[in-house]
Amino acid sequence: MDDLRDRIADDRSSLENKLARLVPGYEGYKELKTRREADRLLREHLVGRLDELRGVLRELVIRLTNDGRLSQLKAVDAVENRLETLTDAFRHADYGYSGKTDPLKVDGMILDRLYEFDATLVEHVAEMETQGRKLAEISTEPEAVKAALLEFDTAMKSFARAARERNQILSGVEL
């Protein structure tokens, strides 16, 4: 994946570049804004991928229902609910913005660390997608569903743990 910070920075207008040369402090302000925007874009991309995984679980529910495997729906529903909660929490987490009155100032160094940390979250989502493909391809036999759901849930928990660590960085618990 391209470094979103570079792509956003390349989109600067000539007026912004001129301002950066003429106005003291403007360049640093724009750089922080660019990093925040890159952070937001990456996280929105990941949320979209997580939402697609919920669709895989819904399709599994349909397959199980059509095959009369209603006893397995509760387990799938529980995993889907955890995925929904995780997705919503990640969707609404801090974007690395701090205003003048915010208790924690998020500087460029922290934003760089967050961006690199978010990039590792891509790997966690990719693992969830791998497990999601297994869910899409398995038979509806109880043992196959159970094993695939456990593997998906394990990958989801790894992502959740990494997302919590990211929030700790922003909250100042881990600086």
Do 145 and 64 meet the contact criterion of CB atoms below 8 Å apart? yes
Q: Is residue 100 part of a domain?
A: yes
Q: Is residue 33 part of a domain?
A: no
Residue 92 Rama label (left phi>0; alpha psi -120 to 50; beta): alpha
Mean pLDDT of 14-27: 58
Tens of pLDDT, residues 144-157: 999 999 999 999 99
Q: Is residue 39 part of a domain?
A: no
> Above 90 in pLDDT, residue 103?
no
Do 125 and 50 meet the contact criterion of CB atoms below 8 Å apart? yes
Q: For the chain, first and last CA: distance in Å? A: 26
When pLDDT is cut at 50, 70 and 90, the band that residue 99 belongs to is: very low
Tens of pLDDT, residues 33-73: 776 777 778 788 999 999 999 999 999 999 999 999 999 99
Q: Is residue 23 part of a domain?
A: no
Higher pLDDT pick, 105 / 151:
151
Where does the chain show beta strands of DSSP type E? none
pLDDT given for residue 158 in this prediction: 95
Question: How many structural domains are present in the chain?
Answer: 1
Q: Is residue 12 part of a domain?
A: no
Residues whose CB is less than 8 angstroms from the CB of residue 110 and which lie 6 or more positions away in sequence, other chains included: 96, 169, 170, 175
Q: Is residue 14 part of a domain?
A: no
C-alpha span between 167 and 75 (Å, rounded): 28
pLDDT given for residue 126 in this prediction: 94
CATH of the domain at 98: 1.20.120
Residue 139 structural domain: 45-171
Q: Is the pTM of this model over 0.75?
A: no
Q: Is residue 38 part of a domain?
A: no
Q: Is residue 117 part of a domain?
A: yes
